[in-house]
Structure 1
Amino acid sequence: MRVIICGAGRVGQGIARQLAKEHHDITMIDEAPDLIERVQTDLDVQGVIGNAAYPDTLRAAGADSAEMLIAVTHFDEINMVICQIADTLFSLPTKIARVRAGAYLDKANTDLFSRDGFPIDMLISPEIEVGEAILQRIKSPGAVSSIAYESGELQILGMKVDSDSPLVDTAVNQLAGLFPDLQARIIGIRHKSRIIAPRGTDQLQEGDTAYVAVSRRDTPRLYKLFNKSNEDLRRIIIVGAGNVGLHVARTMEQTSGARVRLIEASEEKADRAVSVLRQTVVINGDGLSRDILDEAGVAGSDIVIAVTDDDKTNMLIGKLAKRLGAQRAHVLVNATELVALAGDLNIDAVLDPRALSVSRILTKLRRGRIVSVQSLEDGDAEIAEGITLETSSLVGKRVDYDDLPDGVTAAAVIREGEVLFPTQNLRIEPEDHLLMFYETSQTRKVEQYFRVSSTFF
């Protein structure tokens, strides 16, 4: 697919890096020559220097023949105008824009992006998406990652396998036999630097990360099997009062009885936080200061969430917070090269806004009736939710561990609102919502499962 990305900043580069892995034909536009030079050198993309809101610049980037445009400059209004020009002058089929300002995203203003408004097919807001990811992880305190489906009735949890877990050296297909009433299924394993969709005889090892599909009812039992705590997080410290920090604090005030404290170095941002928050204690100070962290109560905190504008600062805050007694530390990191350091710094989880944006965009790129995609492990694996058509090759067949090709694992079936886990007795029916975990080398195979067969016509 021919894709134009407008804006070569961190988000734009992250999206380009992932799409380039899939061999899409990518052109990036930015006014900064040094950024264009960098992406042309580091990524397999073409570059155009210029203002992406100018028709001549879009034309030079190939808007006449492009199939998708992604506008992720630093300015909402420019992103919106770019999409309007791409639609009016070039009839570009799919237009995606990053929009950050809450005034545009308010539900009362949804008509702004309707058929009669700005012709934008998908809005992405990395800050809001990161905030929602944080809130989901707060609900799943023992997991390193958490994705919810079917209003939370089904969860995909990333669980660290420690030496004291009873699941060490256990084959994944033995889980149902050992715990017959447990509605859970291991669907992916990260072992050292490699992630796989397991076959039935693959075993969990100490140090692995296991991706597990589990029903809401059985989540507490699953935590016990991994020797993880499932206690509610009641003492929360957020460092950084930007869009992410404010979104999390405001939502926690509305939905939780947790005690939240917010640290912000900028006096202006701290004053703004005080004006919009009602129950959160706002502290104006440096999150890297031990005195400030002590004032916030870091030693007795359940989790410290570092979401400042600086990756390195976030990682150091996470490291310091754990040293001072915080139970958990989650940090926001944009730079891919820093993510690998999180384990060395005793940081429990890294929040990657690029990966969240890429996941939403991939939904538009995937063929067939795929309604959602989640990118995992820096793009090495994905979880897709698709709808099986009558002509799907899966209809009437089993989807247990060894029924699918190498690199693909079925996670669960959602049928008329009921969550079903694959067994030897479960067979796929038309209109099932099927969740699949797969290594990205198997993307085209998974797409085929959800496409209309040529014999249908």
Structure 2
Amino acid sequence: MKIVVCGAGQVGSTIARHLANEGIDVTVVDIDAAQARRVDESYEVRGMVGHASHPETLERAGAREADMLIAVTRSDEVNMVACQVGYTLFRVPRRIARVRHHGYLDPLSRALYSADQMPIDVVISPEVEVANGIARRLRTPGAFDTVPLADGRVQLLGIHCDTVSCAFVGKKLSEIPQIMPDPHLLVVAVVRNGEAFVPAGADVIQRGDDVYVVTEPNRVDRVMAFFGHEERIARRVVIVGGGNVGLNLAKMLAREAPYVRIKMIEHSRERAELVSRELGDRAVVLHGDALDTEVLEEANAGSAETVVAVTNDDETNIFSSVLAKRMGCKRAITLVNKTSYEPIMPSLGIDAVVSPNAITISTILRHVRHRSVSALYTLREEFGEVIEARAQEGSKLVSGPINKIGLPEGMLIGAVVRGDTVVIPHGEHRVRAGDSVIAMVTYKSLKKAEAFLAGSGGDER
């Protein structure tokens, strides 16, 4: 498989690294010579300098032989035109573009992306996806992460095991059914002291662990309570940053949770006025610096249940969150782009970290994976993914009971969906062709996992 990636920023370079590690032929194009050289020298990929939407650049990058073009430069227009050139001149079969400007994302603009107009197979909007992710976290306040899978019939939860009332601390995972009758949950991953692993039944949950749990939506409150989390849904929210993420989030909350009182802090007067006009009486928009305690006090951040910091600056997001928490705010959800900051977030009292790059990467990788994979969510950049895949006729996955088919180390089946029935499987459970399977897969075991998913038709992507 050959893929051309346009853009050598954090998203483009991370995608290129993932794909190269899987043995895929990757060429990365960037107009910045230093960026292109860094990618070329750091990873097993070819980095080249050039304008990503120019035909001669794509020709040199090998677009004529490419199976996919992924355009994630900083420019929406370059990404869109690169897909157009890739299709019209080189007939690249699959084209993915990151598009940020809301004007291009309006439902009325969707006709732009049809095959006879500007043929883009997948349009990714990080700002909208991030706003959706934050809205989900607000609906499940005790979780630092929450992802719906299998059309909403399965829920993936990220939970801090940091409360004294967590019933599972000091217990083996195999003992959970004794503590929580009919638990209907499975712990698919544990992060301890910054290191992630796929647990076995003999592993013990320790205070301070972050665990990822698979369960059903109607059992979420019960699961959270057993983990010691019974936080109430926020009714007073302060949003720091009136950019695309903040504006999208405010609109979602106003539409889906009208009981929430929203206050927003925006540093730019011009943007604050624009956002205020957009939101009308659905939110109070304040012009000011969120690092100024007087501005935070004016927003009543100390009495808010949640502060959501989503400016374009990581440091502003982190420190405004810390200040709000110190003033009495109960919870902080913070947007952070730099992965190097992630290990220090818990020590600063930040409850949930949102990474736009991780969300973008997850969405793109889903379209590169085996054809049976319908959804994918990255759990920590270097660790692995939770995938949703359709069990194929003739695959190893349907060849016998789960405990007898030889699942590779690093692969754990968390749930099986058959029709409207969700099963948290035990070792004797058999997966049937056509079932949707929710599985944790580490990157080390990814190739073996894809071999398990491949049916009688072979390992197609």
TM-score bracket for this pair, using the shorter chain length: over 0.9
Shift of residue 364 of structure 1? 1.5
Q: 1:283 to 1:7 in 2, by over 3 A?
A: same
Whether the aligned pair in 1 keeps the contact of 2:97 and 2:122 (CA below 8 Å) is yes
Shift of residue 221 of structure 1? 1.4
Shift of residue 52 of structure 1? 1.2
What residue identity is the alignment partner of 2:107?
K
Higher mean alpha-carbon deviation, 401-410 vs 145-154, is at 401-410
Whether the aligned pair in 1 keeps the contact of 2:142 and 2:230 (CA below 8 Å) is yes
Over the matched positions of the two proteins, sequence identity in percent amounts to 36
Q: Secondary structure at the match of 2:358?
A: helix
Q: Secondary structure at the match of 2:433?
A: coil
Corresponding residue for residue 406 of structure 1: 409
Aligned length: 456
Shift of residue 403 of structure 1? 6.6
- Between the aligned partners of 1:163 and 1:223, the Cα distance in structure 2 is 11
Corresponding residue for residue 66 of structure 1: 66
TM-score, normalised via structure 1 length? 0.94
Shift of residue 301 of structure 1? 1.1
Corresponding residue for residue 149 of structure 1: 149
Q: 1:282 to 1:261 in 2, by over 3 A?
A: same
Whether the aligned pair in 1 keeps the contact of 2:408 and 2:449 (CA below 8 Å) is no
Q: Secondary structure at the match of 1:444?
A: helix
- Between the aligned partners of 2:134 and 2:206, the Cα distance in structure 1 is 27
Kindly indicate whether residue 169 of structure 2 is the aligned counterpart of residue 183 of structure 1.
no
- Between the aligned partners of 2:134 and 2:14, the Cα distance in structure 1 is 20
Shift of residue 178 of structure 1? 3.0
TM-score, normalised via structure 2 length? 0.93
What residue identity is the alignment partner of 1:244?
V
Shift of residue 72 of structure 1? 1.4
Corresponding residue for residue 326 of structure 1: 329
Aligned counterpart in structure 2 of residue 294 of structure 1, from 293, 297, 300: 297
- Between the aligned partners of 1:403 and 1:202, the Cα distance in structure 2 is 20
Shift of residue 45 of structure 1? 3.3
Q: 1:258 to 1:399 in 2, by over 3 A?
A: farther
Whether the aligned pair in 1 keeps the contact of 2:403 and 2:428 (CA below 8 Å) is no
Whether the aligned pair in 2 keeps the contact of 1:195 and 1:439 (CA below 8 Å) is no
Corresponding residue for residue 447 of structure 2: 444
Corresponding residue for residue 245 of structure 2: 244
- Between the aligned partners of 2:325 and 2:406, the Cα distance in structure 1 is 44
What residue identity is the alignment partner of 1:338?
Y
What residue identity is the alignment partner of 1:376?
L
Q: 1:21 to 1:310 in 2, by over 3 A?
A: farther
Q: Superposed, which structure 2 residues align to 1:416-455 within 5 Å?
A: 416-424=419-427, 426-453=429-456
Corresponding residue for residue 225 of structure 1: 226
Q: Superposed, which structure 2 residues align to 1:34-433 within 5 Å?
A: 34-162=34-162, 164=164, 165-256=166-257, 257-278=259-280, 279-395=282-398, 397-399=400-402, 404-424=407-427, 426-433=429-436
Whether the aligned pair in 1 keeps the contact of 2:180 and 2:226 (CA below 8 Å) is no
- Between the aligned partners of 1:156 and 1:194, the Cα distance in structure 2 is 19
Q: 1:195 to 1:12 in 2, by over 3 A?
A: same
Q: Secondary structure at the match of 2:330?
A: coil
Whether the aligned pair in 1 keeps the contact of 2:22 and 2:447 (CA below 8 Å) is no
Cα deviation code 1:251-272 (max 9, x no counterpart): 1000101111111000111011
Shift of residue 394 of structure 1? 2.2
Cα deviation code 1:156-205 (max 9, x no counterpart): 10111126222012221222243232221111111223212222222211
- Between the aligned partners of 1:400 and 1:259, the Cα distance in structure 2 is 50
Q: 1:308 to 1:223 in 2, by over 3 A?
A: same
Whether the aligned pair in 1 keeps the contact of 2:189 and 2:197 (CA below 8 Å) is yes
Q: 1:14 to 1:291 in 2, by over 3 A?
A: farther
Cα deviation code 1:30-81 (max 9, x no counterpart): 2222332333344443322221111111112222222221111222222111
Cα deviation code 1:270-320 (max 9, x no counterpart): 011011103111001101110011111111111111111111111111221
Higher mean alpha-carbon deviation, 16-25 vs 210-219, is at 16-25
Whether the aligned pair in 2 keeps the contact of 1:398 and 1:423 (CA below 8 Å) is no
Whether the aligned pair in 2 keeps the contact of 1:142 and 1:230 (CA below 8 Å) is yes
Unaligned 5+ runs, structure 1: none
Corresponding residue for residue 16 of structure 1: 16
Higher mean alpha-carbon deviation, 262-271 vs 34-43, is at 34-43
Unaligned 5+ runs, structure 2: none
RMSD over aligned CA atoms reads 2.1
Shift of residue 351 of structure 1? 0.8
Cα deviation code 1:344-395 (max 9, x no counterpart): 3221121111111111111121124111111111241111111112212222
- Between the aligned partners of 2:299 and 2:404, the Cα distance in structure 1 is 48
Whether the aligned pair in 2 keeps the contact of 1:199 and 1:401 (CA below 8 Å) is no
Higher mean alpha-carbon deviation, 129-138 vs 213-222, is at 213-222
Q: 1:360 to 1:210 in 2, by over 3 A?
A: same
Q: Secondary structure at the match of 1:27?
A: strand
Whether the aligned pair in 2 keeps the contact of 1:332 and 1:350 (CA below 8 Å) is yes
- Between the aligned partners of 1:318 and 1:22, the Cα distance in structure 2 is 38
